[in-house]
């Protein structure tokens, strides 16, 4: 991803939300410890405490967390926040930063994703950007759009169509700002769009993908990657034989892999590596039911206590379930990475 963005000529601002570890952050930033995105203040504090700076808290600012954002803004060289409503701007105006520092604010723009952000076509979007730029003690640092609608794509052509549309709408909005005398950065991002970028993305300032550090089954289905690129697994043990149901019981429930992906895979909630005929049919909190897609189970192949390897549908949802990652190479454990948790 670093090489791809260098070739494109845009700044990579990798998102930490998938892994939330120092080790992956070091890999994603090329060791610079600069220019990252986080989704929680727990992440922001975690990285700030370990020497990271130029941190963007990419979550439309929650009013109950203004003081914590102020503390980080007064502590770091560059702590940045998002907002998408005039009331949020008013909260910042009421809380000026110490020592003449400015709030560094990105306007969250909705370019078709349909989650947070002010809609790009609404007159209020331009008015809010202008208000940010004019407010004392506040700087309009950039315009930020998430093209999460790429997650509904299948194949490179569809991914690039969404990336093109998001890029076009963002750049058109930047033109409107320039016409009003306002210049700032522009950023779009999602793992599918940044895995297969379009040429016009070179006109942006930054991109902010995150899931690509692990990838997952969902990304392989979208077309972002191949299954061989997926770098995360959940190991689970066979803890029960249920011949009357033609099922195995495993010690991985939704608390170990999440319920994300329900009904979207022929193999159930995950892909069971090396066993294409097995399906993770259902889960309770700590149990999973596995059955064959066709035929009868040969229980001699799955003795009690034996291990199965699950490739998760959504690595972000799975990773957040675990307090440690066991890092391995060629069958040998080489370390443990401990993520930050909470909000």
Say whether both 154 and 249 belong to one domain.
Answer: no
Identify the burial level of 178 via C-beta atoms within 10 angstroms of its C-beta, where 0-12 means exposed, 13-18 middle and 19 or more buried: exposed
| Contacts of 168 by beta carbon, 8 Å cutoff, 6+ apart | 200
Answer whether residue 50 is part of any domain.
yes
Say whether both 37 and 171 belong to one domain.
Answer: yes
Which of 213, 237, 256 corresponds to the end of one domain?
A: 213
The answer to whether 80 touches 59, Cβ cutoff 8 Å, is no
Residue 257 — very low, low, confident or very high, per pLDDT cuts 50/70/90?
very high
**pTM here?**
0.95
Q: What percent of the chain has pLDDT over 90?
A: 98
- When pLDDT is averaged across residues 290-313 and rounded to a whole number, the result is 98
Alpha carbon of 177 to those of 114, 135, 183, 188, 278: distances in Å? 22, 16, 7, 17, 54
Say whether both 208 and 238 belong to one domain.
Answer: no
Say whether both 240 and 290 belong to one domain.
Answer: yes
Cα(218)–Cα(233) distance, integer angstroms: 14
- When pLDDT is averaged across residues 195-211 and rounded to a whole number, the result is 98
Say whether both 93 and 206 belong to one domain.
Answer: yes
Cα(315)–Cα(20) distance, integer angstroms: 12
Cα(150)–Cα(247) distance, integer angstroms: 36
Say whether both 175 and 262 belong to one domain.
Answer: no
Say whether both 4 and 140 belong to one domain.
Answer: yes
- When pLDDT is averaged across residues 318-332 and rounded to a whole number, the result is 95
Residue 331 — very low, low, confident or very high, per pLDDT cuts 50/70/90?
confident
Residue 262 — very low, low, confident or very high, per pLDDT cuts 50/70/90?
confident
Say whether both 197 and 284 belong to one domain.
Answer: no
Q: What is the pLDDT of residues 269-283, one digit of tens each?
A: 999 999 999 999 999
In this model, does residue 263 exceed pLDDT 80?
no
Say whether both 196 and 255 belong to one domain.
Answer: no
Q: What is the pLDDT of residues 20-43, one digit of tens each?
A: 999 999 999 999 999 999 999 999
Helix %, strand %, coil % of the chain (to 5): 35, 25, 40
Answer whether residue 72 is part of any domain.
yes
CATH at residue 155: 3.20.20.10
Mean of pLDDT over the chain: 97
End-to-end CA, the chain: 27
Answer whether residue 218 is part of any domain.
no
Which of 154, 181, 213 corresponds to the end of one domain?
A: 213
- What is the structure's pLDDT at 162? 97
Alpha carbon of 157 to those of 110, 150, 153, 198, 252: distances in Å? 22, 11, 9, 10, 36
Say whether both 7 and 120 belong to one domain.
Answer: yes
Answer whether residue 219 is part of any domain.
no
Residue 242 — very low, low, confident or very high, per pLDDT cuts 50/70/90?
very high
Say whether both 63 and 145 belong to one domain.
Answer: yes
Q: What is residue 200's DSSP assignment? A: G
Residue 261 — very low, low, confident or very high, per pLDDT cuts 50/70/90?
confident
Which of 169, 190, 213 corresponds to the end of one domain?
A: 213
Cα(271)–Cα(265) distance, integer angstroms: 8
Answer whether residue 284 is part of any domain.
yes
Answer whether residue 54 is part of any domain.
yes
Collapsing DSSP to helix, strand or coil, 318 comes out as helix
Q: How many domains does the chain have?
A: 2
Cα(60)–Cα(117) distance, integer angstroms: 8
Q: What is the pLDDT of residues 55-84, one digit of tens each?
A: 999 999 989 999 999 999 999 999 999 999
The Cβ of residue 343 has, within 10 Å, a number of other Cβ atoms equal to: 10
Answer whether residue 223 is part of any domain.
no
Say whether both 177 and 257 belong to one domain.
Answer: no
Answer whether residue 222 is part of any domain.
no
Q: What is the pLDDT of residues 99-153, one digit of tens each?
A: 999 999 999 999 989 999 999 999 999 999 999 999 999 999 999 999 999 999 9
CATH at residue 266: 2.40.37.20
Range of the domain at 270: 228-337
- What is the structure's pLDDT at 214? 98
């Amino acid at each position: 991803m670093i090489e791809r963005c260098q070739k494109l000529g845009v700044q990579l601002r990798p998102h930490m939300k998938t892994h939330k570890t120092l080790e992956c952050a070091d890999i994603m930033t090329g060791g610079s410890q600069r220019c990252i995105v986080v989704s929680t203040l727990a992440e922001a504090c975690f990285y700030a405490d370990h020497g990271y700076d130029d941190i963007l808290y990419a979550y439309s600012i929650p009013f109950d967390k203004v003081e914590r954002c102020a503390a980080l803004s007064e502590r770091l060289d560059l702590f940045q926040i998002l907002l998408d409503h005039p009331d949020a701007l008013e909260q910042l105006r009421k809380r000026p930063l110490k020592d003449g520092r400015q709030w560094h604010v990105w306007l969250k723009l909705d370019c078709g994703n349909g989650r947070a952000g002010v809609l790009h076509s609404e007159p209020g979007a331009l008015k809010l950007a202008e208000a940010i730029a004019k407010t004392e003690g506040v700087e309009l640092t950039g315009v930020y759009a998430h093209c999460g609608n790429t997650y509904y794509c299948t194949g490179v052509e569809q991914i690039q169509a969404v990336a093109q549309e998001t890029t076009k709408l963002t750049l058109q909005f930047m033109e409107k700002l320039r016409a009003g005398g306002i210049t700032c950065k522009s950023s779009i991002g999602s793992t599918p769009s940044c895995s297969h970028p379009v040429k016009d993305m070179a006109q942006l300032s930054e991109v902010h993908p995150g899931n690509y550090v692990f990838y997952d089954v969902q990304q392989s289905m979208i077309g972002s990657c191949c299954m061989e690129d997926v770098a995360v697994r959940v190991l689970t043990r066979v803890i029960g034989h249920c011949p009357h149901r033609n099922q195995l019981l495993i010690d991985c429930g939704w608390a170990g892999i999440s319920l994300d992906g329900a009904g979207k895979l022929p193999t159930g909630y995950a892909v069971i590596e090396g066993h294409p005929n097995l399906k993770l049919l259902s889960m309770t909190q700590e149990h999973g039911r596995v059955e064959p897609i066709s035929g009868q189970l040969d229980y001699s192949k799955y003795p009690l206590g034996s291990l199965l390897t699950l490739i998760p549908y959504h690595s972000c949802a799975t990773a957040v379930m675990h307090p440690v990652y066991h890092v391995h190479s060629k069958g040998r454990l080489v370390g443990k990475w401990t993520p930050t948790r909470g909000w």
